[in-house]
Structure 1
Amino acid sequence: MYDLKHLFSTVSGITTFTQFGIVASILSVYVGLNFGWSKIKSKMIILLIITFFRAFFLSERLAALELVIPIIVCWLGIKAQSGLSGKTRVMVNLSPLIGLVVFAVYFSVSEYFRSWSNYYALKESSFIEFCVTRITGYYVTGLNNGSLLIDVFRKPLSFPYFTTTWLWDFPILGSYFDPNKLTGVPSDFNFAGTLASMGNPEFNNPSGLFLPYIDFGHVGGFFFWLIAGMGCGFIYHLFSYNNIYGYLYYPIIFVGLLESPRVLYWSEGRAFPAWLLRENGGIVTKTIYINGRFLGQVTTGVQRVATEVLKSFDELALSSQYRFIVLTPGKTDAPKLNLKNIEIKQ
């Protein structure tokens, strides 16, 4: 498979478009479940075929994961709004275990084409033992490599070198920046060479958990993860309340959390296009403000009708191209309405 991979050389600024796969998957699921699959079904199938071709024949295993995982997360999030059946809810509760099994199978199949059939079949006697060693090696050695980098650099760089790798790899723009000059990292620094003498060059993941500490030191790294954790919690809160921004960004957060023992996915160039999802991306086009003064008034027939209309808007908001915000004067009974898709501001 490596021979096939060498036939597909990268073209700066062109092959970068493959990194929009996660964006396409998130938007496709949202549009498909809310507006119908007829217009995007064929496009999704083509995207999946191309992605799995990259995963198995070009040795880009993560390409499939960062497409399939957001699809599942978005689908479950939107379906949960209307309620999950008993069997589906059981499957969701068991999804961490099911996910591990599916990932192990996927990893084993891809590893068979990637390295077993080409090399290790002649050296190893058990394919299962080989796969277990490889899958644990990718993540465990990542932690070791991260510790090794901290020891090699000794002093923090005081610069976002490893936490903004998307900038150094950015097409055209990246060629104008020399991170080595900005950070003082020796231009001849070779991570692969360091692993060859002090680790295992075959397992070259640096671990995303340690990279912020190399850039900002122990205190800076702590606050990096503190802020990141608060951000993850906030995005999950939006996702759990069916907020459009939660649907757009939580799948990216989720993939990054899964990959954090191995790499800092959020800072890589492949994740950068996903962060560019904006409000004007074709889903939410306008914001409608609703006068919520009636929520603070004594309840009569008029207020009851207005409340029921507001609840109806809340049900329609998720599948609408409009964003609804209720403006209320001070303390009201709005929280008791349990609105899931409409924001309330005082």
Structure 2
Amino acid sequence: MRTGLRTLAPAAGGAMPWWCAPAGIAAGFLLPLMFLIAWAGEIRHPALTIRGVQVLDLDWLLLGGLMIVALALGGWLGAQLQPAAGAPRRIGEGGDRAAIAIGLVATLGFALWFRDFLLDPALLWATLTGAYKPERDSIELTPGLTSLANTAPVFFSLYAFRRLDTDLPRRPLPRAMNLLALLLVLLTAFRVYVWSERLALIESLVPFGLAIGRWAAARRGGPWSLLRLAGPFVAIPLVIVYFGAAEYARSWASDTYQGKMDFWEFALGRFAAYYYTSLNNGASLLANSAWPTWTFEFTLEWLHRAPLGLGQPFSALVGYAGRSFELHLLAYQDPEFNSPSGIYAVISDLGLTGGALYMSLVGLLSGLAFRAYREGRLAGVAIYPIFFITFMEMYRYPYLGTARSFTWSCGIVLTLLLAHLMAPAPAPAAGRASSRPATGEAEA
């Protein structure tokens, strides 16, 4: 069946576990987990801190479920669409060179961001040993430059795929990629530690998780079968431990928790309360505000915050006068817990029909990227991890609308452009073969 430039066709290329696919993660993981979180939020337990007006009920859950189903259907359709061009070609030298270039860009962003530490070994050592704990406000940011650090996940996407690519014959990784990977891992870990930013580590780990999923799909045996069958559910305890460890210093010492429960109760309770509150905040926003607003407060937050005065004309055009969600939290919820959910916030911006179309479009694009990733195409390897992070952050906020997502997306575009420009010239050959690329690394 022809559909424009693409064709509905069976899957080609490498296999992937169900939880790597947009439809699988949405319908098989996000949907049941949303109802589980809602159920946990109703349990009266000392570890659960639910503040504000509880609005989340079955009706709002069904509405949220409808959005996730739209996401899953779009993802399924996108994964069935195949480029009308020939068989996919492996990432070549141009892709490796582009990965090195974007890795250097990310390293520059980190160097500018943490230059005070990197240029002062005594300060760096005091920070690493815990003798000095800097406040976030004391670390100077340079808009447009320090944000280049957010392109690091693009490098990790290409590096992880190349490191675990199961296609043969394998081409050795350039030494520069290995050195950059080590350097960026250390810089990201420092960012998580000194900036108290959990998400930065998750953004860096997701590319490795997807690459491991593709690698494990080609393996046989008990552990790999378990990973293919229940990957995200197996990972939940690890996520809870990570979340609890990050919350330990912030909340464990308070009278609310200290000495009253063990760590697992604390971590699980904080985890459930965190995501329940995000969903409840979004439902409360719809229940107590007029929508759709068409101000794109959540879905195009990055555009409102664009530097050099570029965001002001757009904000004026759509009538956006500031974050109205903060006022809503002050009136109905708790400003400390300020996540609007990535489901209900979209409906607030675009309405029910617009929200469903938005979810379907995100699903469709993610499905196309997923298929390209599975087949080892450069564009898919570079693009799909950002969609996977969007699914993981679905309960908290629309990730694609954030400024960090925009910087990541710019890194993807730059990487694809560099891969095309840095591709080696095709080897001369006779006849028609002379006009065909030798490596195909600029394949989109």
- Counterpart in the other structure of 1:321: 441
| Alignment match of 2:157 (pick from 6, 17, 26) | 26
**Compared CA separation, residues 173 and 91, structure 1 to 2 (3 A):** farther
**Compared CA separation, residues 191 and 160, structure 1 to 2 (3 A):** closer
CA distance in 2, matches of 1:119, 1:16: 37
Unaligned runs of 5+ in 1: 289-305, 307-312, 324-342
CA distance in 1, matches of 2:284, 2:197: 25
CA distance in 1, matches of 2:174, 2:425: 26
Instruction: Give the TM-score normalised by structure 1.
Output: 0.73
Q: Deviations over 1:232-287 (max 9, x none)?
A: 22222222233322212111111110111111111111111332323323278489
| Shift in Å, 1:141 | 1.1
CA distance in 1, matches of 2:250, 2:190: 13
Q: Greater CA deviation, 237-246 or 29-38?
A: 29-38
CA distance in 2, matches of 1:16, 1:139: 27
Q: Answer whether contact 1:55 1:110 (CA < 8 A) is retained.
A: no
Q: Answer whether contact 1:155 1:217 (CA < 8 A) is retained.
A: yes
Q: Residue type matched to 1:201 in 2?
A: P
- Counterpart in the other structure of 2:191: 54
Instruction: Give the TM-score normalised by structure 2.
Output: 0.58
- Counterpart in the other structure of 1:192: 326
| Alignment match of 1:210 (pick from 344, 363, 368) | 344
**Compared CA separation, residues 211 and 35, structure 1 to 2 (3 A):** farther
Unaligned runs of 5+ in 2: 1-129, 165-170, 427-432
Q: Deviations over 1:54-77 (max 9, x none)?
A: 223321100000111112213433
Q: Answer whether contact 1:205 1:263 (CA < 8 A) is retained.
A: yes
SS at 1:206 equivalent: coil
Q: Residue type matched to 1:16 in 2?
A: S
**Compared CA separation, residues 210 and 237, structure 1 to 2 (3 A):** same
CA distance in 2, matches of 1:287, 1:158: 48
Q: Is 1:239 matched with 2:370?
A: no
**Compared CA separation, residues 45 and 124, structure 1 to 2 (3 A):** farther
- Counterpart in the other structure of 1:5: 136
CA distance in 2, matches of 1:193, 1:128: 34
Q: Percent identity?
A: 25
CA distance in 2, matches of 1:35, 1:170: 40
- Counterpart in the other structure of 2:240: 104
| Alignment match of 1:162 (pick from 285, 298, 316) | 298
| Alignment match of 1:90 (pick from 217, 221, 225) | 225
SS at 1:270 equivalent: helix
Q: Deviations over 1:159-217 (max 9, x none)?
A: 433211111223325454462x3333454x55334323311222211101112211221
Counterpart mapping for 1:63-142 below 5 A:
63-77=200-214, 79=215, 83-86=218-221, 89-93=224-228, 94-117=230-253, 122=258, 125-142=261-278
| Alignment match of 2:280 (pick from 144, 157, 168) | 144
CA distance in 1, matches of 2:180, 2:242: 23
Q: Residue type matched to 1:10 in 2?
A: L
Q: Residue type matched to 2:283 in 1?
A: S
SS at 1:148 equivalent: helix
**Compared CA separation, residues 151 and 174, structure 1 to 2 (3 A):** farther
Greater relative contact order, per chain length (Cα 8 Å cut-off, separation 6+): 2
- Counterpart in the other structure of 1:337: none
**Compared CA separation, residues 190 and 221, structure 1 to 2 (3 A):** closer
- Counterpart in the other structure of 2:396: 262
| Shift in Å, 1:53 | 2.1
- Counterpart in the other structure of 2:145: 14
Q: Answer whether contact 2:343 2:397 (CA < 8 A) is retained.
A: yes
Q: Answer whether contact 1:32 1:40 (CA < 8 A) is retained.
A: no
